[in-house]
Structure 1
Amino acid sequence: MRSGGNGHRGAEHYVEEFLQVEPTEEERAADAQGLVAHSLGKSYKRRPVVRGVSLSVRRGEAVGLLGPNGAGKTTVFYMITGLIAADYGSIELDGDDITHLPMYRRARLGIGYLPQEASVFRGLTVEENIRAILELTERSRDKRESVLRGLLDEFAIAHLRSTPAVALSGGERRRVEIARALAARPRFMLLDEPFAGIDPIAIGDIRELVRHLTARGIGVLITDHNVRETLELIDRALIIHEGRVLMEGEPDEIVRNREVRRLYLGEQFTL
């Protein structure tokens, strides 16, 4: 990410403190547990679509949730976000059970969600989009302004601050959405199809944004149909097939696995 000039160093310093408060020993122990799903299951009209899927995401790690169409990966992802209720199983955030919490409660606890569809307020400017979240998370006006300036600089969107969100390109919109999400101080970010609907140039922007999140110590869970782009970005992946975890491992292990190649990637797939 580009940083601003000397005039913004104070703002950038405050953003670092604001988003990366030094954790206590108890928080360190809790954070090690991360975002964990245990044996999730879901059926529609008595047809099982997810059958005992477990996964975990640690702070500062990027994990991919991948699989063929109809495999159940999107249902798993939506159960973790809170968009769909699980029939059985549990979801924990740093050791606390959040299985039955609505989406907005999960957000308050530190789970950010970036949907595939544009989530910016199209009638507001870039600055107003970020400020709308800061109004909810920071009482001090001075601190709100400092964090706002820092985020605009950090995500290289300061020159767009007065631009209506409706006029942004796909890559610019994603940067604004993630900057706005960071204003809520998430511990984990769930990205739904981040590579969808963007041009090839913007793909590099998305990669940089995800790496930026993990460098901040934020755990990232990604589901996307663009398999190659996702595997080149993440630390680990889970391949979902027929509602179950077919394999979990690092990208190279995933690509080498014969069953994954036969059922999902194809024999000619390479990274």
Structure 2
Amino acid sequence: MSESLPFDPNIGLVAHGISKSYKKRTVVEDVSLQVKRGEAVGLLGPNGAGKTTSFYMIVGLVQTDTGSITLDGSDITQLPMYRRARLGVGYLPQEASIFRGLTVEQNIMAALEVVEPDRDKRQEMLDGLLAEFGITRLRHSPALALSGGERRRLEIARALASQPNYILLDEPLAGIDPIAVSEIRDLVSHLKERGIGVLITDHNVRETLEVIDRAYILHSGKVLTEGTPEEIVANEDVRRVYLGENFSL
């Protein structure tokens, strides 16, 4: 399988020819993609293209029928989601994943207690994450009182408590106001600067193309094309089946 891949399969988070069918209907067919550390990659396409199923197979929420998922060359196809998380694959679901009844700092500390046994180190990591994401002033605020952008920052700070090498963002732009879109862009840039690989799937194609380095476009369960945002927008097939002829960045 690796011989047919247009990249080194031993680097990054890689899907190798993954497929999935439900009741004899193929929803994903032979999809291959790669996310390297320090880059942001989009997984995009029209409704029914198979992007969500592909994304969930990479996360570990859905089992592949054929193909494999590797992490820096190690096969993780059969590993459940929590095992992938321990190996450095973080995941932020579309739904709010914070504990609404806890404060901001309690939310982060709950994640730190799983990975760091030393109390002093936990406190140091907590203070560092609060400062890094500009939420120190909110540390004692209840999570349910946060704005959409503040909630996203808290969620990503919590995800970083486990020190992942990759983070998969499911619809990070859903349900947030235009001001918060620029916050998401800044957060993705920050994750990249940290050396973290980011995979994003989202229905907001224009905003997603503004925050990623590359994208894979799925259509009818297959990869239609892959490239930079500029290459994607210039692709005639993508404009015909997905973006529309008048689309521009």
Q: Which range, TM-score by smaller chain?
A: over 0.9
User: What are the residue-to-residue correspondences of 1:63-212 with 2, within 5 Å?
Assistant: 63-212=41-190
Q: State how far apart, in whole Å, the 1-side matches of 2:114 and 2:82 are.
A: 13
C-alpha displacement at 1:32, in angstroms? 6.6
Q: State how far apart, in whole Å, the 1-side matches of 2:225 and 2:72 are.
A: 24
CA RMSD in angstroms comes to: 1.2
C-alpha displacement at 1:140, in angstroms? 1.4
Name 2:3's counterpart in structure 1: none
CA 1:128/1:152 → structure 2, altered by over 3 Å: closer, same or farther? same
Cα deviation digits, residues 30-82 of structure 1 (max 9, x gap): 99711000000000110000000000000001000000000100000000001
Q: Which portions of structure 1, spanning 4 or more consecutive aligned residues, are displaced by more than 3 angstroms? A: none
TM-score, length-normalised on structure 2? 0.96
Native 8 Å contact 2:10 2:73 kept in 1:
no
Query: What code does the residue aligned with 2:87 have?
Result: L
TM-score, length-normalised on structure 1? 0.88
Asked if 1:36 is matched to 2:14, the reply is yes
CA 1:137/1:40 → structure 2, altered by over 3 Å: closer, same or farther? same
Name 1:48's counterpart in structure 2: 26
CA 1:151/1:31 → structure 2, altered by over 3 Å: closer, same or farther? farther
SS of structure 1 residue aligned to 2:130: helix
Name 1:61's counterpart in structure 2: 39
SS of structure 2 residue aligned to 1:186: coil
Report the count of equivalent residues. Answer: 242
Asked if 1:230 is matched to 2:208, the reply is yes
Structure 2: runs of 5 or more not aligned: 1-7
Q: State how far apart, in whole Å, the 2-side matches of 1:103 and 1:45 are.
A: 24
Structure 1: runs of 5 or more not aligned: 1-29
Identity %: 71
